[in-house]
Structure 1
Amino acid sequence: MSPQRPDTHIHEQKGDASISFLRSRIDELDARIIGLLQHRARLAAQVQRERIHRGGTRIAAGREAEVRRRFSAGLGPTGDAVADAVLLLCRGAADGDASRRPSDDVADRGGERRADL
């Protein structure tokens, strides 16, 4: 086995520094994304409470479909999965139960769904 050339070692160190820098930028973006998702969840909770106060369901299936379309248009094939994760995160924001689905709300209202809210 031949010893590693010194210039190769320097190149690897520069590459490691570049990767570290890029990873730190990704970490910064992750922190911002988390903050934005937390903010979105708070806003979704306000919308849910207001909709329920007006006699509607907690979840508006039509609105969720709009969100999925926007994410798919912006992110391509993986947009649906990202939208589903975001919606799931924010869906339980009003009562802390992120496991509920739109069908749960229909059952809670005796099968009635008000699309106007």
Structure 2
Amino acid sequence: MPNRLDEISRVIGNIEAEVRGLSASVAEVRQSSAEHHRETRERLESIGGRVAKIEADMKPLAKTVATMEPIVAGYAVTRWKIAGAFALGTSIIAALGWVVSLFAGKIVAWFLSLFR
């Protein structure tokens, strides 16, 4: 018949086995976490290198864009000026055409009245 001491020893043995299992699980989690951290760091370093390369490639473009910006703005203003001049010219021609058509009708009527 097992006595109380045997039962306590068995419980302690079970606890020790569970602690060993937990220790192994914790060690696996730590190793997995360390590997994940290393992979993440490598990816970040790779991304950082690519970003640095893109920045280096963009520096000459930034200078070019800064140089071209006032030129392009000047072209936009010029285009608006041309469009405005065209609209004004079209309006003037339309008004002159209307005036000429009014007078032309009266001149033709006067000219025809001379022959009657």
**Given the two structures, how large is their TM-score scaled by the length of structure 2?**
0.43
Structure 1 or 2: larger helix share? 2
Quick one: higher RCO (CA 8 Å, sep 6+), 1 or 2? 1
